[in-house]
Amino acid sequence: MSKTHEIRLTQLDSVRLESALMEILRTSRTEPQGAAELEALLDSAAIVPPDSIGPSVVTMNSTVVLEAHPSGEQTTLTLVYPKDAATERSRVSVLSPMGRALLGARVGDLIRVVVPSYGERQFVVAALTFQPEASGRFDL
């Protein structure tokens, strides 16, 4: 994963992610894959009020359209908490490599992510079709 700008998270996402991470670590016998990386991401992120996050920033429960680079193939994913992940419904966990790469990304960003079984892939965040904060949904 590679990002060239400061990662911004809402206060609500930060609190919920910290809580989810603590619960996962408390109930798991071994540290889940991606937990340390997510913790590092949370530690380095700029935390902002939910109503001040830009409408082009990927937050939790956002739905994004990704364009594979250079093929142009598009896919739509929703970034979710680990308990809500469902690959068959295109709901990707924030603990996954793709989820961590998406968190805090902006429309137009090129993200690099190591996808299991595929190696490193590059995607452009082509569109944000739903962001809870931009829709006034601070309960998600």
One-letter identity of residue 18: E
Average of pLDDT values for 44-53?
90
Which residues are paired to 113 by β-bridges?
121
pLDDT > 50? residue 1: no
Provide the pLDDT for residue 2.
45
Please list, in sequence order, all residues whose beta carbon lies within 8 angstroms of the beta carbon of residue 21, skipping any fewer than 6 positions away. Answer: 35, 38, 39, 42
pTM score: 0.86
pLDDT > 90? residue 78: yes
Query: What is the pLDDT confidence band of residue 63, given thresholds at 50, 70 and 90?
Result: very high
Contact by Cβ (8 Å): 105, 5: no
CA distance 74 to 81: 23
